[in-house]
Amino acid sequence: MTPAETPVRPAAGILAARNTTLESFTPTERILLRRHPVDIGAFLCSGEYEIARWKEGEREGGGHGYRHRWTKTAIEGSRHEWLVDARYKDGRPWRWRDGELIWSARITYTRLLRWRATLPFGVLHAARVWYRMWPAETRDLPRLADLVLRVLAEPEPAEPAELVLFDLEETNA
């Protein structure tokens, strides 16, 4: 097969054609991403390679009403009320249970890749530097987590424009 006959991967065209910005994530999806800043920082550093690592094995966890799963295709998370189910005789909580669902979110890896493609070079470079262990040990996970939390911060509300209903000139009568 000659280089001219080499097929082009369709995923690259799809990723370039669609533009996913932070504003396209729902508030609950942003909460889910903010709950895992080091994992998302590793994703900003290495993109597809980190997703391949996530796909190799499913993992899940949580506690105190929060649950998350990294599946073969997406990150999933949910938050439930955390209610006291039983108490000791002195009144201290002994057993807890999940209450009603507060929020639930699911973000596909394709959407994450499209979002990563819209980030400025400086953010991706900083993530690479603060996650790197070779050839120079520059890993700084607290700074990486801070970077991710700043990138995922809620967008600032726009300043309301001054509303002018009528432009009346004053006259001297």
**pLDDT, tens digit (0-9, with 9 covering 90-100), for 109-148:** 999 999 999 999 999 999 999 998 888 888 999 999 999 9
Number of domain units in the chain: 1
The reported pTM is 0.74
For residue 85, the SS3 value is: strand
Beta bridge partners of 115: none
88 domain-assigned: no
162 domain-assigned: no
Q: According to the model, what pLDDT value does residue 141 have?
A: 94
80 domain-assigned: no
49 domain-assigned: yes
169 domain-assigned: no
- Asked if 84 and 93 touch (Cβ cutoff 8 Å), the reply is yes
- Asked if 154 and 30 touch (Cβ cutoff 8 Å), the reply is yes
Which residues constitute the domain of residue 12? 8-60+105-151
